[in-house]
């Protein structure tokens, strides 16, 4: 009982302090911390207006109310807290005198991240993909590493998570996929198809899609936005091919149960390789050669 009363008093004091802080000489003081990351033109990154407005609203909740809402999983629930807001409160908790609040929020956020990542289990549930498992571990590990570092020194890489969390997580996944492909293909010997002297479909796929965006400034947020827009502008078949490659789909597989780009687009491996090559030629022209002019 005493602990409950003390917690209620602490929440009440905190809310009164916030209400007082909002007013300074008759003017409202914005409590939401601005992002620090800058664009190439030196302007600061900004959260979407609806996220900023929701942060102001959430600042007025007691911690018990906030935790209850943070645990809601259904995005269509009116009380659902977007991950852009949740990570904001995880980050600003560095100002607390203890790690207790951070740990409670971190547990909820990390669970969301893990649910968003593909599992290593195969579709039949009887086997596991080592590549998918490595990708999952790399993404989660890098996210946790950035959050831990941000507790000590502000990490601007996390700013984009407060703007578009799902896209930022998707990019971590894409980076992990490319690294996993490189690791896997370094140890795979070249094999040839029958007596034709041509590389097998698996090696042809690997050699052309291990890292299709190498030499591009893939870690730059502004560049990644341009890349996404350029992929969307490609002809439909080329765009879908690149998008599926980035999501770790194989172009071709001898296993009929494996979903591949060929089966989805109903095209031969050679056609898909042509789509891929033409798409990459266009992307390099638009994003790299265009910058040199």
Ramachandran quadrant class, 266 (left: phi over 0; alpha: psi -120 to 50; beta: rest): left
Share of the chain above pLDDT 70, in %: 69
The residue ranking higher by pLDDT, 48 or 219, is 48
Taking residues 165-175, report their average pLDDT: 88
CB of 6 closer than 8 Å to CB of 64: no
- pLDDT exceeds 90 at position 158: yes
- pLDDT exceeds 90 at position 73: yes
Q: How confident is the model at residue 72 (pLDDT cuts 50, 70, 90)?
A: very high
At 108-132, the pLDDT tens digits run 999 999 998 877 765 555 556 677 7
pLDDT of res. 231: 86
Q: How confident is the model at residue 228 (pLDDT cuts 50, 70, 90)?
A: confident
Note the Cα 231 to chain centre separation in Å.
18
Task: Select, from the ranges 87-91, 137-141, 179-183, the one with the highest average predicted confidence (pLDDT).
Answer: 87-91
Angle at 265 between CA 289 and CA 283, to 5 degrees: 5
Parallel, antiparallel, or unpaired for β 23-24 and 198-199? unpaired
- pLDDT exceeds 70 at position 75: yes
- Distance, in Å, from the CA atom of 105 to the CA atom of 1, rounded to the nearest integer, reads 25
- Distance, in Å, from the CA atom of 210 to the CA atom of 280, rounded to the nearest integer, reads 13
CA atoms within 13 A on the CB side of 246: 22
- Considering the entire predicted model, what is its pTM? 0.59
CB of 139 closer than 8 Å to CB of 169: yes
């Amino acid at each position: 009982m005493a602990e409950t009363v003390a917690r209620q008093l602490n929440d009440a004091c905190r809310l009164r302090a916030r209400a007082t802080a909002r007013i300074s000489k008759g003017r409202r003081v914005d409590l939401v911390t601005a992002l620090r990351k800058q664009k190439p033109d030196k302007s600061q990154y900004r959260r979407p207006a609806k996220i900023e407005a929701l942060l102001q609203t959430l600042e007025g909740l007691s911690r018990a109310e906030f935790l209850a809402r943070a645990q809601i999983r259904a995005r269509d629930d009116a009380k659902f807290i977007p991950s852009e807001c949740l990570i904001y409160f995880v980050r600003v908790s560095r100002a607390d005198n203890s790690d207790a609040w951070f740990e409670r929020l971190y547990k909820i956020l990390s669970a969301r991240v893990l649910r968003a990542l593909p599992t290593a289990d195969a579709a039949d549930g009887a086997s596991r993909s080592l590549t998918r498992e490595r990708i999952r571990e790399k993404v989660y590990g890098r996210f946790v590493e950035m959050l831990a570092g941000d507790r000590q020194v502000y990490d601007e890489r996390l700013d984009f998570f407060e703007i578009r969390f799902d896209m930022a997580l998707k990019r971590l996944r894409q980076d992990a996929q490319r690294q996993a492909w490189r690791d896997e293909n370094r140890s795979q010997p070249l094999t040839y198809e029958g007596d034709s002297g041509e590389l097998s479909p698996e090696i042809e796929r690997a050699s052309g899609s291990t890292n299709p965006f190498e030499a591009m400034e893939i870690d730059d947020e502004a560049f990644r936005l341009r890349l996404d827009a350029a992929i969307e502008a490609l002809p439909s078949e080329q765009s879908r091919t690149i998008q599926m490659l980035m999501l770790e789909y194989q172009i071709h597989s001898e296993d009929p149960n494996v979903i591949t780009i060929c089966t989805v687009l109903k095209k031969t491996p050679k056609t898909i390789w042509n789509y891929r090559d033409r798409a990459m030629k266009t992307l390099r022209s638009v994003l790299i050669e265009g910058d040199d002019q």
